């Protein structure tokens, strides 16, 4: 199993989890709500690390290969895996939005509730 960020996947049922509490470490004020997470936060940690390296190397796969000590084809393969995972994440988001809109069309969900759900995605 890919290592995920703590908020990405439930360790019990493997369903998506959401960030629901934020705390100020200086004054300990806490806010509880459903906070949206960035798509990149839902990717496995290894993909997130690769994206950091990729950005810091200005997208140069050759530079990444030199920095990490792996071959250019290995770096390219890792990039392809990150791209595929990000496309999957985007697809899941679009399917979820589509399901919400279908529920509104079917009269199972109010427009206001749908707007809140889509905003949280």
Domain that holds residue 80: 19-120
pLDDT, tens digit, 9 for 90 and up, residues 69-85: 999 999 999 999 999 99
The whole model's pTM is what?
Answer: 0.67
Contacts of residue 5, defined as CB under 8 A and 6 or more positions apart, other chains included, come to: 41, 42, 45, 48
Mapped onto helix, strand or coil, the DSSP state of residue 23 is strand
Answer yes or no: is 35 within a domain: yes
Answer yes or no: is 28 within a domain: yes
Contacts of residue 53, defined as CB under 8 A and 6 or more positions apart, other chains included, come to: 64, 67, 68
Query: Is the pLDDT confidence value at 5 over 60?
Result: no
Give first-to-last CA distance, the chain, whole Å: 24
- Count of structural domains, the chain: 1
Mapped onto helix, strand or coil, the DSSP state of residue 14 is coil
Query: Is the pLDDT confidence value at 2 over 50?
Result: no
Please report, for the domain that includes residue 25, its CATH number: 1.10.10.10
pLDDT, tens digit, 9 for 90 and up, residues 42-100: 899 999 999 999 999 999 999 999 999 999 999 999 999 999 999 998 888 888 888 88
The answer to whether 85 and 47 are in contact (CB under 8 A) is yes
Answer yes or no: is 5 within a domain: no
Answer yes or no: is 83 within a domain: yes
């Amino acid at each position: 199993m890919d290592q995920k960020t703590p908020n990405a996947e439930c360790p019990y049922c493997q369903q998506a989890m959401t960030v629901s509490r934020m705390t100020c470490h200086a004054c300990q004020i806490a806010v509880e709500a459903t906070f949206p997470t960035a798509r990149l936060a839902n990717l496995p940690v290894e993909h997130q690390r690769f994206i950091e390296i990729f950005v810091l190397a200005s997208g140069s796969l050759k530079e990444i290969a030199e920095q990490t000590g792996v071959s250019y084809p290995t770096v390219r393969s890792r990039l392809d895996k990150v791209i595929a995972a990000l496309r999957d994440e985007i697809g899941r988001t679009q399917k979820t939005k589509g399901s919400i809109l279908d529920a509104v069309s079917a009269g199972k969900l109010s427009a206001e509730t749908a707007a809140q759900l889509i905003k949280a995605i």
